[in-house]
A and B are shown apart, each in its own frame.
Chain A
Amino acid sequence: MKLPAFEYACPTSISEAVALLASHGGEAKPLAGGQSLVPMMAFRVASPSLLVDLRKLAELRQIRITQDGVTLGAMVRWCDILEDARLKTAHPLLVAAVEHVAHYQIRNRGTVGGSIAHADPAAEMPGIVVTCDAQIAVMGKAGARTIAAGDFFHGPLMTALKADEIITEIRFPFWPAKRRFGFQEFARRRGDFAMAAAAVFYDDDGGKARNAHVGVIGVADRPLRLASVEAVINGQKINDAVIAEAEAAASAAVNPADDIHASGAYRRALVGVMVERALKDAAV
C-alpha cells in the first residue's frame, strides 16, 4: 500500500499555497495533518499530482476567543483543542465532540480544517460546524470568501471547496455561558466513526427552549440540521413528552441506507436515541 507518486511543495505563505493549488489543473491537494488523505492515497483511491503541505503556515494555527465567538485556524489540531482550557467554557459542545475524535496519535496530527475538507459523513467536526452555524473562511485564487457550514457539505467526501481553495478559519458564533447542550455518539469502538451522533443546544427563555439547534451525523451523505426536531423543541419546556416527540421526529427525518456496519432501520432508530439522550443531557 505504498503511496502513488506525486510532487511535493511546502509553501511559506497562504498566497503561495493557493497559487500552487491553482497551478495543477485541479489535480493538486492540500496536505494538512494527513490523517485522512494519506490513507486514501495508500489505498490509491486518491492520486493527487501535487501535495501542498500547509505545515509552515503558522497563521493557520491560532485559536482566537473573542466576544464574537471562537475562531479556529484550519491547521488547529485536535490535541490543541483538548489542551486549551479556555474552550471548556468558550465552546463546551466543540470540546465534547472532539473528545470522540479518533485516537491519541491521530489527535496529535489531525486538523479541524482537514476534517472539514475531507467531509466524511460520520465525522464529528462537520457535524459540529453544521449544528453551530459556523462560517468556513476560505482563500482561493479568486480571493477570500466565507461559506456557511450549512452550504459547505455536498455529499460524502464532497464540499463546496474549489480545487484552488484552502480553508483558513472556522468561525463559531459566540457561545453564551448559560446555553444548554448535549452531545451523544454511538460508535462500535471508542474512537471509531460514529454509527450515529447528535449534537443539540438551545437557550433557556423562562423555562422554555429557544433557538434550538439539532445536528446529526452518520445517517445521511452529509451532516444534517434537523429543522423538524428543532420545531418540536422550540417554545417548549423540555420534558419527557417533548423529548419523546423529538426522538420520533429525528428518526422520521432521516433515511439512512444499509451498509456493512449497520442496517438503515437500525441507524434510523439510533439517531432518535442519540437525540433523546443528548436532550436529556442538555436538560440536566
Chain B
Amino acid sequence: MKNTFIGASIERREDLRFLRGRGTYVDDLQVPGLLYAVILRSSVAHGRLRSVDASAVLKIEGVHAVITAKDMTSKDYPSGVPIVPMRLQPLPEFQPYEQPVIAYQKVRYVGEPLAVVLASSVALGEDALEHIAVEIEELPAVSTWQAASDNKGVLFDTTGTNRSLTFEARKGDADTAFKDAPYTRREQMRTGRHYGLTMEPRGVMAEWDAANNKLTVSGAAKVPFFNRRILAKQIGLPESDIEMIENDVGGGYGARGEFYPEDFLIPFAAKHVNRPVKWIEDRRENLMAMNHARETEADLEIACHRDGTIIALRGEIHTDMGAYMRTNGAVGARNAPQFLTGPYRVPHHKVDSHLWMTNKTPVGTYRGPGRFEGSFYMERLLDMVAADLGIDRIELRRRNLIGKAEHPYKLATAQPTNAHDQTDSGDYEATLDRCLKEFNYTDVSKLGGKLIEGKYHGIGVACFIEGGAAGPKESARLEINDDGTITVFMGTASVGQGVETIYAQIAADALEVPIERIRHVYHGSTGIVSDGYGAYHSRSVVMGGSAVLDATQKFMGLLREAAAKRLDCAASSVTLDVDKVIGGSASLPLKEFAGLTAEGAFLNHKHTYSYGTHAAHITVDARLGHIEILDYVVVQDVGRAINPLTVRGQVIGSLVQGLGGAVLEDLKYDGQGQFLTGSLADYLLPTASDFPNLRCFVTDDHPSPINPLGAKGAGEGGIVAAGGCLANAVANALQTFRVEPRALPLSPTYIWQLVQDARNPDPSS
C-alpha cells in the first residue's frame, strides 16, 4: 500500500481540541498551593538603580514574598545576578551587552524587571506593586541610533560605546566595481519598529519538588532544550533535574520561546519559596517586554550596467537593538546585510551593519528577521533603477533573478561569524511568471498611476527567497503504544503551525500505515527525546520531518529484528500491515511489541530556500493617505508541500503580518525613552476588514536537494516581500507626484506628507 498522506490537505488533528476550547495553554494550568508572580517594571528608561525597597509590601495580606536582585547576590550566587547568554551568534563582543535577569546597578529600558511579587492572586500582586519604593538616579535616555552613535549617553560603562558590533557582509570587490560603474543610485531608507505580537502573551509556571530534586517548568516553547541548558547553569541544577514542558502555544513568530529574564525569575522564585509559581504576562507588559524587532535605517548604493544588470551593492545599515543583546538579537542585524540581495544576482557586495544599543525594549527575531527589512530596501532600489534607466520593472527583475542553472548560488558571507550561505534549488523566474499570470499583470498594470474616482491606482511587484531549515540536528522518536498504535515524539516545537498533523502524515507514509495508526504526536518537551533543537528559521518540516523519516527507518529495523525472533523468520521478510506484523506464514498484532521505541535524527548544515513573488494592486486616496488593497497575489514554491492546506495558511498568515508591519504596526518612544504605544488601541494589528483581497498559490516544482523529503522551510515567505511590494505599489500609484516612499510603515500621515512635499518642494532641500 503506497500512502499519499504527504501532499494531501489533511485536516488537522490539533483542531479537535482548539475548536472546543480544550487546548491547554500555560494559563490554563492550575496546581495546589500556586502563587502568582507579578513583575515590577521600570518606568524610567535610563538610570542608576539605587535601591528597590519592598519592605512595605511584605506586610500586605496576600503577599507571600518579593524577589529582588539581592536574592541573587548571596553566597549561593557567587557570580552575582545571572546573565542571559546569547543562543545565536554568541560572540565575545556581545557579552558585555547581555541582560541580567533582573535590573542590577542600572536600568536601561522602560519595562526592565525590578522585582517580582509573589501573591495569592494576580490582583493582589498588582495592588502591591505601587508600594515598592524604587530609587533611580535618572540619566538622559538614548532614544535613537543616532543618539547612540553620538556617544553622549552610554548604556554600558564597561565598554564606553553603544555600538555592540558591526557585521560585514562581503562578496567580490564592491569598491572597485563601483569605480567603473556606468550607473549608480544611492538612497537612505528606514523601517519602523514592530514585533511578533502573539495573541497569547507569555507565561511560565514553575514547580520545585525539593524532595525529589525536580524542577518542572511549563510554558516552554520554541527552543525548550536550549532554554533548559541556560536555566540549569543559572540556577545551579543539573539539566537532568529540570523538565521543560511545552503546552499548547498561542503563537510564536520568533518572539515567544527565547530565554527571557522571566524564564529564570519564575523558576528561581519557585525554588526560593518552595511553592509553585505562575506568571502570566499581561498585554501591557507584552508590548514592552516581548522582543521588539525591525527598526533599521539604511544608506545603500546600487551599481548597474545600462541594461539594468546589477554589478554591486554597498552601504550601511543601522539597527536599533534596544537595551540588551537578547538570545537571538543579532540575527536580524546579521541577516539584513547578508540577505539584502534576495533572489537577485549581485556579484559584488559590501554592506556593513551596525548594532546600536538604545534605551528601549531589547530586540530579537521576528518572522523573516532582517529579510523583511532587506527586501524593502532592495525592491525599492530596483523600482528606482528601472525608472532611471527606462527599463520595465518586471524586465529588470528578470535580468537579475538567479537562474535555475546557477544553483547553488553563493550569497554574501557575513563576518565575524563566518556565515556562508547559498541557495539550493529553484526556478525563481517561473514563480514570477506564475504570479504575473494569476495577477493578470498585463491588464492590471495599465492602471498604474491612473486617478479613478478620486483614487490613484498602483501596482507593485517584489520577489523573495526565504531561508529555512537551520541545523545542525533534529531528533524524533517512535514508540509502539499498548494498543498497537504508534506515538511520535519530536524535538521540534509547536508554535501553532500544525506539526502534530504534519509529522503524522510523514510517519504514516513512511510506515505505509493509515494515518489513524499514528495516534499521538508530542512535541517540544524535554522529557521525550534525547535532545531537540526547536522551532525557528522555518525548520520544523525539513529538520523534524527528516528526523521522523530516519526514526521510521530505525524503527522498522528494530521491529524487524524483534519480529524475526518471535516469528522465527528472516528479518528482511518482515512487513508491517496496518496493525499486524507479518513474517513468513505467521503474524502478530503490533501491540505485542508495545514499548518498542526507536530514535532517529537528521543532521544538516545547509539551508533551504523557498522562493516566490508578490504582486499588489492598490488604490491610494492621496488626501487621506489611505491604502486599500484591491488584489494581492503571492506565489511561493516550497520544494515539497507536505500539507497544502497548512502551507497556504502559513503564506497568508505571514503575508498579513507583513502588511501589518508595512502599514499599521509601529512601536513608538519619545525622546526620554518613554514607551508610547502601550495598548492595542495604539499598536494597531490587522483585523478581518483591513486586507480582505489576498490570494496565494503554492507550488512544489523544485524540491530541495538537501533533505530526503525535498521540502523547504516555508513559514516566512509571505512576510518577507510585503513591505517592498506595497511601497512599490504606492510609488507606482503616486507617480504623477514623483513620490518615493523610503520608510515603513506607510502610515496615512507619511503618505500624505510625501504628496504635500512633492507638491510644495522645499527649495532649500
Contact = CB atoms under 8 A, between A and B. Distances in A.
A189 B684 contact: yes
B684 A270 contact: no
B676 A266 contact: no
Which residue, B676, B677, B749, has most C-beta atoms of chain A within 10 A?
A: B749
Interface in B266-289: 282-284
Interface string A241-284: 00000000000000000001111011001100100000000000
A78 interface: no
A178 interface: no
- Chain B's interface: helix, strand, loop or mixed, by majority? loop
A266 B127 contact: no
A4 interface: yes
B43 to A, nearest CB: 12
A260 B676 CA distance: 8
Contact of A262 (B127, B682, B749): B749
Contacts of B127: 4-5
A28 B631 CA distance: 52
A190 interface: yes
Given A2-B126, A270-B624, A188 B664 contact: yes
A186 B624 contact: yes
A260 B689 CA distance: 23
B677 A260 contact: yes
A266 B623 contact: no
A266 B679 contact: no
Interface in B587-641: 623-626
B668 interface: yes
Contacts of A261: 682, 747, 749
Contact of B682 (A186, A260, A270): A260
B156 interface: no
A177 interface: no
Contacts of B748: 186, 188, 195, 262, 266
Interface string B219-263: 000000000000000000000000000000000000000000000
B454 to A, nearest CB: 9
A55 B749 CA distance: 41
A3 interface: yes
A261 B750 CA distance: 10
A43 B679 contact: yes
A262 B626 CA distance: 12
A85 interface: no
Contacts of B624: 186, 270, 273
B656 to A, nearest CB: 13
Given A43-B284, A189-B664, A266-B748, A3 B123 contact: yes
B209 to A, nearest CB: 29
Nearest to A259: B676
B103 to A, nearest CB: 22
A142 interface: no
Nearest to A270: B624
Contacts of A193: 681
Interface size class on chain A is 20 to 34
Contacts of B686: 189
A145 B126 CA distance: 40
A270 B676 CA distance: 23
B623 A273 contact: yes
Nearest to B129: A44
Contacts of B441: none
A26 B534 CA distance: 55
Interface in B356-399: none
A106 to B, nearest CB: 12
Interface string B727-756: 000000000000000000001110011001
A41 to B, nearest CB: 12
B122 interface: yes
B123 A266 contact: no
A273 B748 CA distance: 14
Interface string A206-226: 000000000000000000000
A192 B668 CA distance: 19
Nearest to B751: A266
B15 interface: no
Nearest to A1: B282
Given A3-B123, A188-B684, A263-B749, A269 B623 contact: yes
B752 A266 contact: yes
B765 interface: no
Contacts of B122: 2
B687 interface: yes
A200 B282 CA distance: 42
Nearest to B283: A1
B687 A189 contact: yes
A191 B679 CA distance: 16
Which residue, A1, A43, A44, has most C-beta atoms of chain B within 10 A?
A: A1
Interface in A149-197: 186, 188-193, 195
B690 interface: yes
Nearest to B676: A260
Contacts of A1: 126, 282-284
A119 to B, nearest CB: 16
A161 B218 CA distance: 50
Contacts of A43: 284, 678-679
A66 B564 CA distance: 92
A191 B122 CA distance: 31
Nearest to B625: A266
Contacts of B625: 266
Contacts of A260: 666, 668, 676-677, 682
A188 B628 CA distance: 11
Contacts of B123: 2-3, 5
B345 to A, nearest CB: 39
Given A43-B284, A188-B684, A269 B664 contact: no
A281 B681 CA distance: 30
A188 B668 CA distance: 16
A263 B684 contact: no
B626 A266 contact: no
Nearest to B679: A43
Contacts of B626: 186
A189 B284 contact: no
A63 B117 CA distance: 49
Which residue, B284, B623, B684, has most C-beta atoms of chain A within 10 A?
A: B623
Contacts of B679: 39, 43
Nearest to B752: A266
B752 A269 contact: yes
A24 B127 CA distance: 21
Nearest to B121: A2
A156 B370 CA distance: 40
A262 B679 CA distance: 17
Interface string B654-698: 000000000010101000000011110110101101100000000
Nearest to B285: A1
A270 B622 CA distance: 11
Nearest to A44: B126
Contacts of B684: 188-189, 192
B689 A189 contact: yes
B508 to A, nearest CB: 41
Which residue, B121, B122, B126, has most C-beta atoms of chain A within 10 A?
A: B126
A193 B682 CA distance: 11
Given A189-B687, A261-B682, 10 more contacts: A2-B122, A5-B123, A190-B690, A192-B681, A192-B684, A193-B681, A261-B747, A261-B749, A263-B753, A269-B756
Interface of B: 121-123, 126-127, 282-284, 623-626, 664, 666, 668, 676-679, 681-682, 684, 686-687, 689-690, 747-749, 752-753, 756
Interface of A: 1-5, 39, 43-44, 186, 188-193, 195, 260-263, 265-266, 269-270, 273
21 contacts: A1-B282, A1-B283, A2-B126, A3-B123, A4-B127, A5-B123, A186-B626, A189-B689, A192-B681, A260-B668, A260-B677, A260-B682, A261-B749, A262-B747, A262-B748, A262-B749, A266-B753, A269-B752, A270-B624, A273-B623, A273-B624
Q: Which 3 A-B pairs have the closest CB atoms?
A: A2-B123, A266-B749, A1-B282
